[in-house]
Structure formats: structure tokens, C-alpha cells
């Protein structure tokens, strides 16, 4: 499964943009962009908005993947991650019905 970093690197390369060119368009440091693409650093929500605009990507898809990666990172080494996800899903559903 591709990570956000993989997707962003592929999109940059598909547009024939050098790292320095993309970082200028995105208004972020070249070193930060490089780390995001190598999955050594996570993009912020604000940065994802920039990626979506510059690379013409669906922001909802990026945000879902971003959130999924955050959740995974928090539970990857836990004993019962799938059961915990089920509990979280039920809480989300319950809170949606209360609103």
C-alpha cells in the first residue's frame, strides 16, 4: 500500500518537477519535502492542502490517507489494534448520531 510520501513523490515525478521546483511551488523547504517523500516526516494538514492544489489531487483522499497513517502509527505495536479500531468506529458512529 502506497504511503502519502510515495504518492506525493510519484505525482511530483509525473509532473517532471525537480525537488527544488516543487518545494518552491509548495512554499516549503526542500529538505522538508524530501523527508515527506521519503516518509521520514509527516506532512501537516496545511501542507496537504498545498499538495492537493499544486498536484491537482483530491484533498479528501489525501486527508483520509493521512488520518489513516496517523491512526496506524499510534496502534501498530499494540496487542489488539483491530479490536481497538472497532471500538473507535463505534464511538464515531455513536457521536455522529448524537449531533
- pLDDT at residue 96 is higher than 90: no
User: What pLDDT does 6 receive?
Assistant: 96
Percent of the chain with pLDDT over 70: 99
Domain membership of residue 20 as a residue range: 4-98
Mean pLDDT across the stretch 66-95? 93
Question: CA-to-CA distance for 91 and 41, rounded, in angstroms?
Answer: 29
User: What pLDDT does 34 receive?
Assistant: 98
Cell of 4: 502519502
What is the number of domains present in the chain?
Answer: 1
CATH for 74: 1.10.260.40
Burial of 41-77, coded b for 16+ CB within 10 Å and e otherwise, reads: ebbeeebbeebbebbeeeeeebeebbeebeeeeeeee
User: What pLDDT does 95 receive?
Assistant: 85
pLDDT tier at 89, thresholds 50, 70, 90: very high
Asked if 51 and 62 touch (Cβ cutoff 8 Å), the reply is yes
- pLDDT at residue 99 is higher than 80: no
With cell 463505534, the residue in question is 90
The neighbour count for residue 22, using CB atoms within 10 Å, is: 23
- pLDDT at residue 20 is higher than 80: yes
Amino acid at each position: 500500500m502506497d504511503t502519502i510520501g510515495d504518492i506525493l513523490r510519484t505525482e511530483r515525478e509525473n509532473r517532471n518537477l525537480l525537488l527544488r521546483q516543487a518545494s518552491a511551488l509548495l512554499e516549503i523547504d526542500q529538505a522538508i519535502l524530501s523527508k515527506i517523500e521519503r516518509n521520514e516526516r509527516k506532512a501537516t494538514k496545511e501542507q496537504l492542502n498545498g499538495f492537493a492544489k499544486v498536484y491537482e489531487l483530491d484533498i479528501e483522499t489525501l486527508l483520509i490517507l493521512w488520518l489513516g497513517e496517523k491512526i496506524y502509527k499510534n496502534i501498530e505495536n499494540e496487542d489488539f489494534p483491530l479490536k481497538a479500531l472497532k471500538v473507535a468506529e463505534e464511538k464515531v458512529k455513536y457521536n455522529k448520531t448524537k449531533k
